[in-house]
Chain A
């Protein structure tokens, strides 16, 4: 009996600190954390007018001790006196929140533009919280100019100035030197080869959308090549993967045949829609290469995984092949599998090279000058970063 009471006393003594500690923790959890301070609500800059930004100074208990804040909750109301509703939460340590909404009035998350709102920020530890002072009023207003894109605008303006200067020089008759590109120099030879062999030419515009710039560049090259094929009376086949691209290509080739004085030899059925599915398109084009035994294949535009399948089939068929794309990942495949490759920007320059018009050559010269400017800025940027001239790095930051 005596042993039993001694054991009980020892057990109580051992458990006592744990009980006291648990009570202490419970007490500390019931104490609300310090509230966030200096809450500010203002119109989100450079937006469409459906967002308000809230900033605050972190709670004194954020990241400190047992009262550590776990999250902040944003509350919004139309009046400072009440009616606050939750708009979202952010994790501890974060001191900014964009209260965004939809511009569509029918949406449940519609955020009215121009209406005044008031905000409070709650610092929370589980269900316990403390609230900041009410901030506001603030209203969302759409901006007419995105200040974060000023550097982009500056570059566009500089580039336009280069273009205008060189166009003016070209108009005055100044001879503008542009370096020769092997792939473009080979176009005449490739068309001549097809003519001598009495076989058609295949022109593939890739799988880009009609409004991709690579596709637009491809139409302009197609116009030049189609004019030459019309002059040489060599058929040109243009299988398309998009009906809009087919319509544009038909119109482009028709116009080129008219310009060449050979409208009678234009065949609309040679510029046709195949399918918009990637590998079905590849299968069809491969079939055309092997059946029609095309002497020359052009792959100019936007290409993806199909690039190598097309180029290798053309190689097996013995066609002379000229390719060009702005897809960096596909350029190595074209370099390996085709005879000539227009790398990146050369695709965009090809039409100017083929046309040799002074105005177009002027834009090429402007591109070269812009590249020179970028190279100089890169060198200076590397120097500035090494010397910790942060203002220079910040100058080129684009905020989207």
Chain B
């Protein structure tokens, strides 16, 4: 029963969702939208679980004085501040809640995003180290694509043409091959889960 009930629910909902794609009728839309509403409802309840989980994890770290417990103090203080500020003054523009969001959270987030530029450089260095024929091809293709953005006199025209070919033929072909494979993989995974062939997440074996 522990396995049968979830499998039956997955089968019914899964088959409905698959059929729904082919049925444009209003009734089908209604059930589909109704089921999506349930996802939102479950999400709201799950958020409470998530917050509790977050609180417990950080509280335990502080209690045990684990490595980096100071960050946990900041995380809990931040959580409490946002809860209290939002509860008392609301979440409109100009309130302490939004001030914290714009002047503390957003710059920190932008800083994290900016790290990406440095990481691209270090990852590119590793990827372009010429050790194999494949990395050599990658390096040459990348250099050609970068040259496209630089004015280099009479070479600009041929390089532009070559880059257009690289992006439009081998690159696009590889992308489409991956996309077709992903599409088939998505259908195969859906079939496996809906028919109960894949049940590892239910602890079959």
Give the contacts of B183-203 with A (CB-CB under 8 A). Answer: 184-193, 197-198, 200-203
Chain B contacts for A311, CB-based, 8 A: 123
Taken together as a complex, chains A and B put the C-alpha atoms of A277 and B186 apart, in Å, by: 26
CB–CB B181/A247 < 8 A? no
CB–CB B184/A371 < 8 A? yes
Taken together as a complex, chains A and B put the C-alpha atoms of A246 and B48 apart, in Å, by: 12
Mask, A223-266, CB within 8 Å of B = 1, is: 11001000000000000101110111001100110110000000
CB–CB B178/A348 < 8 A? no
Taken together as a complex, chains A and B put the C-alpha atoms of A277 and B178 apart, in Å, by: 28
CB–CB A360/B109 < 8 A? no
CB–CB A333/B60 < 8 A? no
Does B112 sit within 8 A of A, measured CB to CB? yes
Where chain B touches its partner, the secondary structure class is: helix
Q: Write the chain A residue with the least CB distance to B174.
A: A328
Taken together as a complex, chains A and B put the C-alpha atoms of A45 and B147 apart, in Å, by: 51
Among the stretches B18-26, B85-93, B148-156, B157-165, the one at the interface with A is B18-26
- Least CB distance from B177 to A in Å reads 8
CB–CB A145/B181 < 8 A? no
Taken together as a complex, chains A and B put the C-alpha atoms of A359 and B196 apart, in Å, by: 10
Contact partner, A345, options B57, B184, B197, Cβ 8 Å: B184
Does A57 sit within 8 A of B, measured CB to CB? no
Taken together as a complex, chains A and B put the C-alpha atoms of A156 and B182 apart, in Å, by: 15
- Least CB distance from B161 to A in Å reads 23
Residue from B50, B53, B123, B200 whose CB has the most chain A CB atoms within 10 Å: B200
Give the contacts of A319-373 with B (CB-CB under 8 A). Answer: 326, 328, 331, 333, 335-337, 343-345, 347-349, 351-352, 355, 357, 359-360, 363-364, 366-367, 370-371
- Least CB distance from A278 to B in Å reads 8
Taken together as a complex, chains A and B put the C-alpha atoms of A216 and B39 apart, in Å, by: 15
- Least CB distance from B72 to A in Å reads 10
- Least CB distance from A14 to B in Å reads 54
Chain B contacts for A258, CB-based, 8 A: 203
Taken together as a complex, chains A and B put the C-alpha atoms of A300 and B80 apart, in Å, by: 32
CB–CB B39/A255 < 8 A? no
Mask, A202-238, CB within 8 Å of B = 1, is: 0000000001010011011011100100000000000
Among the stretches A70-78, A175-183, A280-288, the one at the interface with B is A280-288
Does A113 sit within 8 A of B, measured CB to CB? yes
| Ranked 4 nearest A-B pairs via Cβ | A243-B50, A348-B185, A255-B203, A345-B185
Q: List 17 extra interface pairs beyond A48-B25, A143-B24, A364-B188, CB under 8 A.
A: A48-B24, A103-B26, A152-B21, A159-B187, A216-B189, A220-B193, A247-B46, A248-B201, A255-B203, A279-B112, A279-B113, A308-B116, A308-B123, A328-B178, A345-B178, A345-B184, A348-B182
